[in-house]
Every structure is written in structure tokens, then in C-alpha cells.
């Protein structure tokens, strides 16, 4: 992978290859199943919306580098689902439900911040601990689970001009994330810390405050995603569990540096859609679960390997 052409493309548009992959996979699925690409893409957007929002949360942390990542996301998703749906049902206000879900995310973010920045536990362990804590809380409160208000579940499957509404919500979150990451001092500080924590400290950046901000953002994202997911399927214990790996995978697939310092917001979408159309292709090919996991792993490793020289170049 030393050809300058590849480097040029990858440097400027790091999600170009994954996007080409999406197109190839949709064409392959269409050929195998004999059905049009439109339902495939609609389904990928519907399913991908939740993953995009989660991925954007992880993007802030991964961009801040230094091993920052939020493994408490599955717990936040589940608890925020219960809190959000429960509040919406009790108050007949979906907006208050959203606030409750975000509140759970912010609260969990605070716990993460205390564990990581005050107690100085490595993020990978600290956030895992928070996740376990949240799971326990869910088990306690989960015994009196709420009914999803009809308006909320209808909203979650609504479409505008063929585009799932949840995808439009994800788009809104994406625009905000892009603005914050690329156009604000905070966003640039995040990238600076990811590139070199030492340099960021010496240039007077409030490193801990910025990292703390990232945990609050990732918690809020997980809260919003938890509410959307629960609106689709109903709040239930373990609902967030399948989302841990994918929330990180979409960030990496989308061309952001896994060691931090460089983010790519658009790439998160490409990564999320890629994983979804891939799953559809696997089912169309009647691959069993074991082979699906192997194939999915190969795709992730392949993309990482393709980006490897770029990863090394800026170290």
C-alpha cells in the first residue's frame, strides 16, 4: 500500500474505500436476492441511525486519544431507554422523555469522569465498571418497566420522503458534532490532546476539562440512542448489549484515527451503513452466525490494515 494515489485518496477522503465497499455490497445483495437496492438502503439508514449517534459519541473520546473510550455505552442505552420511555409515558411529553434519557447519559458521564480523571482508573476499566453499575441499576428498576407511548413508537418508524425520521435525527446530531469538532476551540482542543497530550498541556489547554466534556457528550449520545432504540423495540433489559463493538467499529471504519488526533464525522455514517448492508448480504448468502462474525472481523481488520501506513506515518 505504498502507492501515492492510495495515500492521496485516503488522506483526503478516508471513507472513500468504505463507501466503495457499501456500493459493492448493495450491488452484490441486489444480485443475490433479486430485490432492489432501495429497501436495502432504507433499512441500513433506519438501523444505522442509532449506531451513528453512538459512533459520534465515541468519536469525541477516540479523537481525544490516550485510550479514551466509553465501554459503559450498553448500560447507558438500556437505562436511558427505561428512564426516557418511563418519563414520556408518565408525563405524556416525549420532550421530557428525551431530557430524562440525556440526563441518564450525563449522569453516567459524570461517574466515568470521576473514575477516570479523579480516581485515575484507565478508561477501558473505569467505563466498564460504570457499565456494570448501570446494568445493576437496570435490574432493579427494570422490574417495573414502562409501556412505550404510541406517538413515540410511531415516530421511530416514520419516514419523510422515503427517508427514516430517525436517520434525520442522526443527521441533526451529526451536524452539531461536526460543528463542535471542527469549528470550535473545544473541538480543536480535543484533536490537539489526541495528537499529543503533552504538547496540549504545555500550550495551556485545560486537558482534563476537555476530556471530561467528551465523556459528557458520549454519555448524552448514548442517552439519545437509548431512547430511539427503546422507542423502536420497547425498553428491555440488555437492549444495549449488541452495540458495544459496533459503536467503536464505525468510528474506525469511517477513517478516524484509532489512536486519536484526527476525526472524520462523515466517515461514521459510511461505517454504520457499511456494517448494516454487510449484515444483509450475509443473510442473503445464508451465512451462519459464526461465519458472519468471521467475515465482519475480516472487514474491520482489512480496513484497519489498509489504514495502517497512515496510522504509523503520523506517530
Partner 1 sequence: MPFNRGCYPKALAALPLTTVALGLASIAAGSATAASHIEPMGPPIQGAATAVQKGKYTIALSDAYVGNNWRKEMISGWTTEAKLAEKEGYIASYKVDITAENTAAAQIAQIDSLILQHVNAIDIDAASPTALNPVITKACDAGITVVVMDSLASAPCEYNLTNNTAQWGSDLAQIVINGLHGKGNIILAQGIEGSAPNAIAVAAQHKLLAKYPGIHIVATVDGEGSVATTQQAIAAVLPSLGKVNGVIDQTGAAGVFAAFKAAGRPLPVVAYTADGLSLRIWQQQLKADPKYTATGVGSDPGEGSAAFWESVLLLNKATFAGKTTPHMLVWPNLFISDKTLDEWLKVVPASDLCANVWTLPEVKNGILDNIDNKTVPPPPVPNFTV
CB of 141: closest distance to partner 1 in angstroms? 9
Q: How far apart are CA 109 and CA 273, in angstroms?
A: 27
User: Which residues is 164 bridged to in the sheet?
Assistant: 159
Q: Toward partner 1, which CB reaches closer, 93 or 241? A: 241
87 binds partner 1 (CB under 8 A): no
Q: Which of residues 147-186 bind partner 1 (CB under 8 A)?
A: 147, 156-157, 159, 164
Neighbours of 19 (CB within 10 A): 19
Alpha-carbon span 228 to 224, nearest angstrom: 6
The least CB distance from residue 154 to partner 1, in Å, is 9
Smaller CB separation from partner 1, 17 or 243: 243
Residues 6+ apart with CB under 8 A from 134: 72, 75, 76, 78, 79, 108
Query: Which residues does 84 contact at the CB level (< 8 Å), separation at least 6?
Result: 97, 98, 100, 101, 104, 223, 226, 227, 230, 235
**Least distance in angstroms from the C-beta of 72 to partner 1:** 17
In this structure, what is the dihedral angle of CA atoms 230, 232, 236, 242, given to the nearest 10 degrees?
Answer: -90
Q: Does 80 bind partner 1 (CB under 8 A)?
A: no
Does 236 bind partner 1 (CB under 8 A)? Our answer is yes
Among 204, 288, 313, 315, binds partner 1 (CB under 8 A): 288
**Closest separation in Å from C-beta 120 to partner 1:** 27
Q: Write each residue from 246 to 285 as x if it is in contact with partner 1 (CB under 8 A), else as -, in one continuous string.
A: ------------------------------x--xxxxxx-
Distance from C-alpha of 289 to C-alpha of 305, rounded to nearest angstrom: 24
Q: In whole angstroms, what is the distance from residue 190 CA to residue 206 CA?
A: 10
Binding mask 29-68 for partner 1 (x = CB under 8 A): x--xx-x---xx-xx--xx---------------------
Cell reading at 1: 500500500
List the one residue out of 102, 68, 105, 100 whose CA is nearest residue 86: 100
CA pair distance 281, 53, nearest whole angstrom: 23
**Segment interacting with partner 1, rule: CB under 8 A, options 27-35, 61-69, 103-111, 117-125:** 27-35
Indicate which single residue of 73, 229, 273, 300 sits in contact with partner 1 (rule: CB under 8 A).
229
Min dist. Cβ of residue 89 to partner 1 (A): 10
Q: Which residues of the chain form contacts with partner 1 (CB under 8 A)? A: 29, 32-33, 35, 39-40, 42-43, 46-47, 139, 142-147, 156-157, 159, 164, 229, 232-243, 276, 279-284, 286, 288-290, 292
Amino acid at each position: 500500500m505504498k502507492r501515492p494515489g492510495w495515500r492521496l485518496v485516503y488522506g483526503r477522503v478516508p471513507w472513500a474505500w468504505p463507501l466503495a465497499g457499501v456500493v459493492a455490497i448493495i450491488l452484490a445483495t441486489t444480485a443475490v436476492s433479486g430485490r432492489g437496492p432501495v429497501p436495502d438502503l432504507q433499512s441500513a439508514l433506519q438501523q444505522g441511525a442509532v449506531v451513528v449517534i453512538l459512533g459520534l459519541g465515541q468519536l469525541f473520546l477516540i479523537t481525544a486519544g490516550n485510550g479514551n473510550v466509553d465501554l459503559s455505552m450498553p448500560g447507558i442505552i438500556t437505562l436511558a431507554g427505561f428512564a426516557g420511555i418511563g418519563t414520556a409515558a408518565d408525563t405524556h411529553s416525549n420532550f421530557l422523555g428525551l431530557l430524562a434519557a440525556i440526563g441518564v447519559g450525563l449522569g453516567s458521564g459524570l461517574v466515568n469522569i470521576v473514575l477516570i480523571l479523579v480516581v485515575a482508573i484507565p478508561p477501558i476499566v473505569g467505563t466498564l465498571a460504570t457499565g456494570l453499575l448501570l446494568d445493576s441499576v437496570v435490574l432493579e428498576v427494570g422490574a417495573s418497566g414502562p409501556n412505550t407511548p404510541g406517538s413515540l413508537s410511531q415516530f421511530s418508524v416514520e419516514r419523510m420522503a422515503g427517508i427514516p425520521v430517525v436517520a434525520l435525527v442522526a443527521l441533526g446530531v451529526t451536524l452539531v458534532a461536526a460543528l463542535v469538532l471542527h469549528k470550535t476551540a473545544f473541538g480543536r482542543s480535543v484533536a490537539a490532546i489526541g495528537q499529543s497530550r503533552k504538547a496540549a498541556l504545555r500550550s495551556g489547554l485545560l486537558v482534563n476539562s476537555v476530556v471530561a466534556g467528551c465523556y459528557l457528550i458520549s454519555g448524552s449520545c448514548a442517552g439519545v440512542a437509548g431512547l430511539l432504540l427503546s422507542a423502536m423495540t420497547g425498553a428491555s433489559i440488555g437492549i444495549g448489549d449488541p452495540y458495544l463493538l459496533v459503536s467503536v467499529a464505525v468510528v474506525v471504519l469511517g477513517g478516524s484515527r484509532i489512536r486519536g488526533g484526527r476525526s472524520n464525522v462523515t466517515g461514521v455514517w459510511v461505517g454504520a451503513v457499511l456494517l448494516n448492508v454487510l449484515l444483509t448480504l450475509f443473510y442473503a448468502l445464508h451465512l451462519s452466525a459464526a461465519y458472519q462474525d468471521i467475515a465482519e472481523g475480516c472487514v474491520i481488520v482489512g480496513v484497519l490494515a489498509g489504514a495502517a501506513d497512515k496510522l504509523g506515518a503520523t506517530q
